[in-house]
């Protein structure tokens, strides 16, 4: 389906089986598949968690929480069954990596789920895939069936007497469900309204049982960590930012695509080297570093950044989901802010007032601005409204809407002023890049 | 109400979870695929299968953007205009579809062949601009390529 790309700078770990027919279970086994779980079966749960801690693997969904630590929060004893839940509700604008993993390497996800289950003492795993990715359900269904047929799933996995069941599940179109508590609500057959925390899912999660929730890429990394050893995986990236990551390059670049690069890779090389530079020979204006809910970077800021969690945290930003969106010099930032807000307004569930009202008012204000009807005090109002959404909602959707807006209105204030007094948008985009793949 | 195959699938699905209603969202989607939309009859049937009231089922339906309570076109054209697609011509593609199909956002052609919807990110950002027709992805599009895609579906409908 989706086109694969390659670049010499890539370190292919999670993507090592892409395009190699690994959806076939025998082929997957040939490519070192299901070796990691056999190794894990001979280890104690603590040893598995320690290996993941050593790897310094951090959540690939966007938050970057240390995976080993997350697993260690699950209580050892529990009256209720424990669960592993895979978050494949990939919906963050700019992000399209989990789709490739599920399409090319579904068994790696299943293997990661079993290992996570062994680590926390869960006997059931659910793989939640967003509704739009229907063709991936067929792939996942076959992968699960094949794993059962080989005795890798079921009542006696790998003849060890241990039990593990794995199921697929599908959403039906909702961005917010990518947030972990809303994800659980959705899996339980309800509206995806977030839950208040604490209690955290590791203690009270699915159907009240302790639940580990990890992104698809996070769990697909786990078998590689078990096989190569946590230290080797950690050494790919800078300290505390272990491993590689799938970066989804999109927007105004010559070679968009999903590239697997070590964490800490320079953004400048990603855009100008791997990505082949800005399309149509234009100049860089801005970069969305990791999905639409991260602070946007100006061209000057972007070329100085390294792509790891801590480099971004130091500047008060977020590395996010791996969705790097590149904007050229002709892009209207007011229009961009409006499109982002239109999205969050559409996706807000309406549960928390700051998010429901904030996104709606911001959309209205930005619409007015872009069509030339803005007044000067609105520029400060946009910032004020967005600032007041931060941290005031159950789930991070409110923050996700506020963060890009704040960075755009602060860093590109001049563009808002250029739209004042009924002026038509001065940044009308000329020359849409031709499709990158024939 | 449903084909025997789908009915069997539902019977199995409700056993995959500790509570029956957990299977509701996938069931709604599969029922919609078979029947065309979530009619009152479908809602009543599914409510019984998962031990919920019809109101509770409707409450869930209204949350998810892919679930429809009205009949859409045989081919539901979903054009993404979110950031990555917008930067590479997603909005122009949507306008093109509007004029080519003669319908607007969330509208259906009188003969029921095509319906159109502007959708949020569908996870094809690196292959933008992208469109989904029913569940099939069409990527790296231009208005000219879009015409070919639409013509193929129109042809398929006649066969």
ipTM: 0.97
> Which of B17, B83, B140 is facing A435, going by the closest CB pair?
B140
Range of the domain at A131: 25-234
pLDDT of residue A438: 66
CB A91 within 8 A of CB A12: no
CB–CB contact A292 B83 (8 Å): yes
- For residues A169 and B50, give the distance between their C-alpha atoms in angstroms, rounded to a whole number: 16
Shared domain check, A280 and A191: no
Q: Which residues of B touch A190 (CB under 8 A)?
A: 21, 60
For position A277, which CATH number holds?
A: 3.10.20.600
Q: Is A220 on the interface with B (CB under 8 A)?
A: no
Q: Which residues of A touch B18 (CB under 8 A)?
A: 81, 207
pLDDT tens-place string over residues A319-348: 999 999 999 999 999 999 999 999 999 999
Task: Please name the residues in contact with A274: beta carbons below 8 A apart, sequence gap of 6 or more.
Answer: A7, A9, A10, A249, A255, A259, A261
Find the DSSP H helices in A371-431. 376-387, 397-411, 413-418
pLDDT of residue A427: 82
Residue A14 lies in a domain: no
The nearest alpha carbon in chain B to A351 belongs to B63
Shared domain check, A219 and A89: yes
CB–CB contact A343 B120 (8 Å): yes
Shared domain check, A209 and A133: yes
- For residues A284 and A288, give the distance between their C-alpha atoms in angstroms, rounded to a whole number: 12
Residue A110 lies in a domain: yes
Write down which residue in A234, A253, A269 finishes a domain. Answer: A234
For position A338, which CATH number holds?
A: 1.20.1440.230
Number of domains in chain A: 3
Shared domain check, A390 and A285: no
CB A53 within 8 A of CB A66: yes
CB–CB contact A1 B137 (8 Å): yes
pLDDT of residue A430: 66
Residue A386 lies in a domain: yes
Shared domain check, A200 and A258: no
- For residues A268 and A282, give the distance between their C-alpha atoms in angstroms, rounded to a whole number: 15
- For residues B90 and A191, give the distance between their C-alpha atoms in angstroms, rounded to a whole number: 29
Shared domain check, A216 and A190: yes
Query: Is the pLDDT reported for residue A97 higher than 70?
Result: yes
Closest approach of chain A CAs to the CA of B17, in angstroms? Answer: 8
Write down which residue in A307, A328, A349 finishes a domain. Answer: A328
pLDDT of residue A1: 65
Give the rounded distance of the alpha carbon of A236 from its chain centre: 20
Shared domain check, A226 and A142: yes
Residue A435 lies in a domain: no
Shared domain check, A341 and A324: no
Shared domain check, A369 and A276: no
Residue A2 lies in a domain: no
Shared domain check, A257 and A180: no
| pLDDT averaged over every residue in chain A | 95
End-to-end CA distance of chain A: 13
Interface test with A, best of B57, B81, B125 (most A CBs within 10 A): B125
Residues A117-144 have a mean pLDDT of 98
Write down which residue in A180, A200, A234 finishes a domain. Answer: A234
Task: Please name the residues in contact with B58: beta carbons below 8 A apart, sequence gap of 6 or more.
Answer: B43
The DSSP secondary-structure symbol of A144 reads: H
Shared domain check, A158 and A260: no
Give the rounded distance of the alpha carbon of A104 from its chain centre: 18
- For residues B121 and B130, give the distance between their C-alpha atoms in angstroms, rounded to a whole number: 9
Residues A247-271 have a mean pLDDT of 97
The nearest alpha carbon in chain A to B133 belongs to A132
Q: Which residues of A touch B95 (CB under 8 A)?
A: none
Residue A213 lies in a domain: yes
Considering only residues 139 to 178 of chain A, which have any Cβ-Cβ distance to chain B shorter than 8 Å? 167, 169-175
Query: Is the pLDDT reported for residue A432 higher than 90?
Result: no
CB A372 within 8 A of CB A424: yes
Closest approach of chain A CAs to the CA of B66, in angstroms? Answer: 5
Residue A54 lies in a domain: yes
pLDDT of residue A372: 86
Interface test with A, best of B17, B84, B132 (most A CBs within 10 A): B84
Q: How many CA atoms within 13 Å lie on the side-chain side of A66?
A: 18
Residue A75 lies in a domain: yes
pLDDT of residue B31: 98
pLDDT of residue A355: 97
Shared domain check, A370 and A282: no
For position A91, which CATH number holds?
A: 3.40.50.11540
Considering only residues 374 to 413 of chain A, which have any Cβ-Cβ distance to chain B shorter than 8 Å? none
User: CB neighbours (10 Å) of residue A13?
Assistant: 20
pLDDT of residue A269: 97
* Secondary structure of residue A377 in the 3-state scheme: helix
Beta-sheet pairing, B131-133 with B114-119: unpaired
């Amino acid at each position: 389906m989706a086109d694969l790309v390659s670049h010499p700078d890539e370190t292919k770990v999670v993507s090592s089986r892409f395009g190699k027919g690994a959806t076939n279970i025998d082929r997957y086994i040939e490519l070192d598949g299901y070796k990691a779980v056999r190794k894990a079966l001979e280890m104690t749960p603590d040893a598995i968690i320690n290996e993941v801690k050593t790897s310094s693997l951090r959540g690939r969904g966007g938050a970057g929480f240390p995976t080993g630590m997350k697993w260690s929060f699950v209580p050892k004893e529990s009256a209720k069954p424990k669960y592993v839940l895979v978050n494949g509700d990939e919906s963050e604008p700019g992000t399209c990596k989990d789709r490739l993993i599920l399409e090319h390497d579904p068994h790696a996800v299943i293997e990661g789920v079993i290992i996570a289950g062994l680590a926390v003492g869960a006997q059931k795993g659910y793989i939640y895939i967003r509704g739009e990715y229907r063709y991936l359900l067929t792939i996942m269904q076959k992968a699960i069936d094949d794993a059962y047929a080989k005795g890798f799933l079921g009542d006696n996995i790998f003849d060890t007497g241990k039990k593990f069941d794995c199921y697929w599940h599908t959403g039906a179109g909702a961005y917010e469900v990518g947030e972990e508590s809303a994800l659980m609500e959705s899996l339980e057959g309800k509206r995806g309204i977030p839950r208040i925390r604490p209690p955290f899912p590791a203690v009270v999660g699915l159907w009240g049982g302790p639940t580990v929730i990890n992104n698809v890429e996070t769990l697909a990394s786990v078998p590689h960590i078990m096989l190569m050893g946590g230290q080797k995986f950690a050494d790919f990236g800078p300290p505390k930012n272990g491993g590689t990551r799938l970066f989804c390059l999109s927007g105004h670049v010559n070679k968009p695509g999903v590239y697997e690069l070590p964490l800490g890779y320079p953004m400048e090389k990603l855009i100008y080297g791997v990505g082949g530079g800005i399309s149509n020979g234009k100049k860089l204006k801005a970069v969305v570093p990791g999905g639409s809910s991260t602070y946007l970077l100006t061209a000057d800021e972007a070329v100085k950044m390294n792509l790891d969690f801590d480099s971004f945290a130091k500047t008060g930003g977020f590395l996010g989901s791996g969705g790097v969106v590149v904007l050229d010099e002709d892009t209207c930032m007011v229009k961009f802010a409006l499109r982002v807000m239109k999205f969050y307004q559409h996706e807000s569930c309406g549960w928390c007032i700051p998010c429901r009202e904030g996104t709606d008012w911001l959309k209205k204000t930005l619409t007015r601005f872009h069509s030339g009807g803005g007044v000067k005090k609105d520029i400060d109002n946009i910032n004020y409204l967005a600032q007041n959404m931060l941290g005031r909602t159950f789930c991070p959707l409110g923050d996700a809407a506020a963060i890009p807006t704040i960075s755009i209105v602060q860093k590109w204030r001049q563009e808002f002023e250029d739209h004042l007094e009924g002026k038509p948008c001065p940044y009308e985009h000329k020359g849409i890049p031709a499709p990158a793949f024939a | 109400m449903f084909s025997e195959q789908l009915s069997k699938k539902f019977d199995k699905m409700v056993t995959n979870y500790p509570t029956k209603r957990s299977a509701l969202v996938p069931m709604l989607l599969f029922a919609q695929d078979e029947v065309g939309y979530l009619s009152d009859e479908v809602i009543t049937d599914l409510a019984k299968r998962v031990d919920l009231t019809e109101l509770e089922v409707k409450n869930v339906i209204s949350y998810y953007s892919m679930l429809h309570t009205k009949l859409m076109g045989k081919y539901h054209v979903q054009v993404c205009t979110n950031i990555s697609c917008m930067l590479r011509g997603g909005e122009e593609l949507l306008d093109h579809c509007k004029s080519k199909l003669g319908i607007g956002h969330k509208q259906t052609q009188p003969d029921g062949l095509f319906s159109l919807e502007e959708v949020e990110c569908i996870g094809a950002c690196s292959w933008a601009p992208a469109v989904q027709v029913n569940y099939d992805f069409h990527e790296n599009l231009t208005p000219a390529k879009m015409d070919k895609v639409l013509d193929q579906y129109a042809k398929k409908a006649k066969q």
